[in-house]
Amino acid sequence: MTIGNVLSITKTWGSKDLLDLSLPIGVRTEAIQDDRPEFSSLRAVLFGPYLLVGLSSGEWELGKQDVARGLSDWILPVPDDHRLQLVSLTQGSCGGTTFLSGLNASGLDATRLLTMAAPPKLGTNAAAQATFRLVYTDQKAVPPIASRQAVIGRVVLLEPFDLPDKVVSHQGAGKGLIISVTADVPPDRTASVFRVVEGLDGTSTTISLEADSTPGCFVHHDCVSGDGVRLVCPANDADRNGAAFRTAASFTFGNGLSGYHPISFTAKGTKRSFLLQPLLSLRDETYTTYFNVGGTFWYCPRGPKQADTTMQTWNFKSDVAHSTHVAGSRPSPPPYE
């Protein structure tokens, strides 16, 4: 069967006959519609007719990838069991419910300091940043479902929903918890491993997170003091058994506020990875449409007061990382100044 021709199937048809036609569909990248060599590394990612975009606040660097060799080494589908491991952690102190969040207050992809945030609207950056995936350190020892009963006693990592392969880390006793977004992932994740235990406040719906590297130290949020989300190590039994500490170190375990679309992929970059989802599935989240796959962008102005050898970097407008296209359409060059 070739373009411009039709496939003819001749047989005597019965009332219960079925014709099952399977067409190949897969992930591909498509170069931006600009023939200038300085744009040759700028690419969009598509799955069949779906334009896939990466949850991001402006970061778009994937680093050097061998596009010609194939995509399976660096664009991978999100496994089905990951959908069952998304959770949210809340507290109900100080007159209202707050969510544990890697809230990106700066609007830039950089190191995030964990905080407790007001309940977010669904389909927003805040909802994505208040959703975490529980990554079991021993995949064979536990079921894939992240329920409160299933995770008690388990050792886990907390992976932000919008930052695949990144994890929450503590910085030692008394210091805040962070998510390092663009830094290289250290081979030793000791400071990112937590043991899930029964909530120290004694209620049946909460859990507490104990640092595996520092037994007796717990993730803690005191809304009265305003110290943020920290790792706290009680100095004595009186502090450890006090109601204030036990309440501040307990979190209600719930379902994630954001979820993976059935068509979801992870694009692995050299500094960070991106969660890819169909553009039409997003609501108010920010995203990246074009990815720089191993290139450097340069602009060579040729004004009357500038020599031909003057080199300046492209100054892209801020909306380039959040530009929208009809799913399946060919991307156009980004605007620049």
- Residue type at 220? H
d(CA 306, CA 257): 52
Q: What is the mean pLDDT of residues 111-125?
A: 91
Tell me which H or E stretch contains 245. Answer: helix 243-248
Q: How far apart are CA 250 and CA 197, in angstroms?
A: 10
Q: How many CB atoms lie within 10 A of CB 292?
A: 18
Tell me what the mean pLDDT of segment 29-51 comes to: 87
Find out whether 205 and 199 touch, Cβ atoms under 8 Å: yes
- DSSP category for residue 55: E
Q: How far apart are CA 209 and CA 212, in angstroms?
A: 9
Band the pLDDT of 309: cuts 50, 70, 90.
very low
pLDDT at 72: 78
Query: Can you give the pLDDT at residue 220?
Result: 94
Determine the Cα–Cα distance for residues 118 and 98; give it in Å rounded to an integer.
5
Helix, strand, coil tally for the chain in percent (to 5) = 10, 30, 60
Say if residue 273's pLDDT is above 80.
yes
Helices (H), 24-115: none
CA 244 to chain CA centroid, nearest Å: 33
DSSP assignment letter at 312: E
Range in 115-119, 191-195, 234-238, 322-326 with the lowest mean pLDDT: 322-326
Bigger pLDDT: 307 or 59?
59
Distance in angstroms (rounded) separating the CA atoms of residues 159 and 165:
7
Average pLDDT over residues 303-332: 33
**Average pLDDT estimate for 176-201:** 80
Mean pLDDT of 306-317: 30
Our CA angle for 300, 306, 312, nearest 5°, is 35
Q: Give me the mean pLDDT over the 271-279 stretch.
A: 92
CA distance 183 to 151: 29
Residue whose tokens read 């500038």: 306
What value does the mean pLDDT of the chain take?
A: 80
pLDDT at position 333 over 50? no
Supply 59's token pair. Answer: 């970061």
Say which DSSP state 153 is in.
T
For residue 168, give every residue at least 6 positions away whose Cβ sits within 8 Å of its Cβ, in sequence order, or none.
102, 114, 132, 157, 158, 159, 160, 177, 178, 179, 192
Residue 50, pLDDT > 90, answer: yes
Domains and CATH numbers, the chain: 27-78+261-322 (no CATH), 80-255 (2.80.10.50)
pLDDT for residue 14 is more than 80: yes
Of 116 and 23, more confident: 116
Q: Is 165 within 8 Å of 172 (Cβ atoms)? A: no
**Percentage with pLDDT > 90 across the chain:** 44
Regarding pTM above 0.75, the answer is: yes
Q: What is the pLDDT of residues 213-242, one digit of tens each?
A: 999 999 999 887 777 899 999 988 888 889
